Amino acid sequence: MNSTFENNVLTIYPEGNIDTSNAEQVGAEFDEIRAKNPDGKLVLDLENLKYISSAGLRQILRLKKKESDFEIINCSSDIYEVFEMTGFSEMMTISKAYRKMSVDGCEVIGEGSNGVVYRLNPDTIIKVYRNSDALDDIKRERELAKTALVLGVNTAIPFDVVKVGDKYGSVFELLSAKSITKLIIAEPENKDKYIKIFADMLKEIHNTPVKEGLLPSGKQTALGWAKWLEGHIPNETEEKLVKMIEAVPDSNMMLHGDYHTNNVHYANGEAILIDMDTLATGNPVFEFASIFLAYEGYGELDKSKVEDFLKIDWDTAQYILYKLIDLYYEDKDEEFRKSVLDKAKVIGYTRALRRTIKRNPDDKELIEHYKKELIEYVDKVDELAL
């Protein structure tokens, strides 16, 4: 068997079978390898283990009793079933191997800060996470998708976790659906129809109550952005900004958090929401801040940023943004609809300025642009709630 010792983790890779004929020898090899690297965590990688008998299980149990930090990874389905049947999976941390897949040649249908979404075939999509250690993120997003589905929001259904190169992916069912973006591009004469579907889905999300504590607060997230900017913007601007966010009434209504036309798909007469890792609760102003950035804010100095992200031209992006507000607030007057974007810009520029300072501190032109716009809109707006 092979082994590696990296970052204070000793990983041993048994191959073949562990049964009565060789269990004691395998145990001795475990001990010999461990003696050479006595410190740190011990991991057994069972990707190439084909069979284990009760004699082999005893050797693993012996290791578990000796090791304070011990884990088994990459079990085949058959080996994992043995561990489950014998109760080993309740005594120690054991994880299955993940099916390997490739996205070479697959169409990109969405992209965000956490990952890229590909269409695998007419029935399924896969979100490949940028973080190579994203299992916790995947688990969280799958739980959020399930939460939204149980609460009545039509979402893509996750059914598998896979490996894509050195990254993890989550596979979702999305039967023959096309994004609202692609439908608008394919049928520009019907764009108002598809933006109406887009707006109706947003209303449905915002009218979905969520049990307290189940999702993060959009208000608290925005408050964190504003407080982070202390020292980067004038004191009076930062103080007014924080007070306005604090004054927004708490709400248990659902927010998507990354709502744009690439994340809403349509098939068989119904809209389907994808990319659920940003779900939160709160006032719609926090949602419209994200929408403003996607359709306008991030492209104010370079329109290609919006065009590359949304896969539509700038004029179409502008049309969708303003039409969405008109349809969402169709019962409100023009003055109110105009105020929606002014309020959203306060939160949007707060987020954009913090993000740019953290990620692109050398982009002085963009930082100064967002700072100028934030100061202007904080001065212009006196309350944020919608």
Cα distances (angstroms) measured from residue 126 to each of 106, 129, 174, 220, 228? 10, 10, 10, 30, 34
pLDDT band for 174, please (50, 70, 90 cuts). confident
* pLDDT value of residue 123: 85
Nearest 5°: phi and psi at 147?
-60, -50
- Residue 17's CB is within 10 A of a number of other CB atoms, namely 15
* pLDDT value of residue 225: 98
Q: What is the DSSP string of 316-341?
A: HHHHHHHHHHHHHTTTS-HHHHHHHH
Specify the length of the chain in residues: 386
**Contact between 63 and 36 (Cβ < 8 Å):** no
**Contact between 60 and 42 (Cβ < 8 Å):** no
**Contact between 14 and 1 (Cβ < 8 Å):** yes
**What single-letter amino acid sits at 164?**
V
Report how far residue 226's alpha carbon sits from residue 220's, in angstroms, rounded to the nearest whole number.
10
56-115 pLDDT, tens per residue?
999 999 999 999 899 999 998 889 999 999 999 999 999 888 888 999 999 888 777 788
Q: The tokens 């019907």 sit on which residue?
A: 190
Span 9-26, average pLDDT: 95
Report how far residue 317's alpha carbon sits from residue 276's, in angstroms, rounded to the nearest whole number.
22
* pLDDT value of residue 135: 83
202-256 pLDDT, tens per residue?
999 999 999 998 999 999 999 999 999 999 999 999 999 999 999 999 999 999 9
Q: Where are the domains of the chain?
A: 2-97, 107-173, 179-380
Span 26-37, average pLDDT: 94
High-pLDDT (> 90) share of the chain, %: 78
CATH of domain 179-380: 3.90.1200.10
360-377 pLDDT, tens per residue?
999 999 999 999 999 999
| Span of 147-151, 297-301, 354-358 with lowest mean pLDDT | 147-151
pLDDT band for 143, please (50, 70, 90 cuts). confident
Report how far residue 340's alpha carbon sits from residue 344's, in angstroms, rounded to the nearest whole number.
6
Q: Which CATH architecture has domain 2-97?
A: 2-Layer Sandwich (3.30)
193-206 pLDDT, tens per residue?
999 999 999 999 99
Report how far residue 254's alpha carbon sits from residue 51's, in angstroms, rounded to the nearest whole number.
48
Report how far residue 140's alpha carbon sits from residue 304's, in angstroms, rounded to the nearest whole number.
32
> In this structure, what token pair is assigned to residue 224?
């964190």
Tell me which fold the domain 107-173 belongs to: Phosphorylase Kinase; domain 1 (3.30.200)
Nearest 5°: phi and psi at 19?
-140, -165
| Span of 17-26, 101-110, 313-322 with lowest mean pLDDT | 101-110
